[in-house]
Structure 1
């Protein structure tokens, strides 16, 4: 039997590895959720492969995605990061990452964890779209729009409805693996 995968991942070994081992797997750990939200925000306007290839740079420069350490970064850190080719050198995105770490921590404090806040949007359930072709997956949904608006109200930046939907897919809240994908059976 042939190993069928979602067509979007077939362009590179990095994509295939990410698809097979991470994308769509439910995440409940706050630090892992913070990593995903930072990377999805950084991706806005760029290809995902660009972010995957810079992921280790992000991990190194943003303290392993520890939201407390990121929230304490300064303007001097921003200036230093703007010179580092290991990440996307975009001032507004770097500043948004620091800002979003602060907002992330406020949410975690209010709800007990960011995970509890986040998963409540789907009533702690995985939304299984049962699609046959990756082009059938929506880019935006009513839920991603609601989530994005709530994040914005809480101070987040660079996280619109499309980026939030990609975050929901990546973190497993939404299962958009095609119906005969080998990874669908693992989730």
Structure 2
């Protein structure tokens, strides 16, 4: 079973990003398992935790969980033309101590979600900059900017069928990319 970690950048209970992430997770084929990784309890990264110690136990738990993943999917809203701090913090915690990054080589997918028309373009691209440095090969095409998300969710909180078809196409391309790029 291939484990794909989902990292959701919105902590809001009824978050659009969470709904989108759950929709993508439901589309993974047999042989793949979606793992939603908890990132909201990670203290802000402080290098003293690693250099002087002790690192918070939640850091160790998080790092071990990410080590056990085969691929990663980031679903993020856009805050002030960038990613929420909780996503950046998770990347920082997982990338340290120096030389022991848990992210290295895990095939990735970036999905940005926004009620606005440009679909979180700024967050998507800022996140990709960090992923390049962390050596997370990331699906380039199709790009996944989910704009006007409030129009893509019905009154029951379910993603509408036409949008699910689009999500399936992205998921299929990610799985193909994953198979070519996994270790």
TM-score if structure 2 supplies the norm length?
0.30
Higher relative contact order (CA 8 A, sep 6+): 1
Structure holding more helix per residue? 1
Structure holding more strand per residue? 2
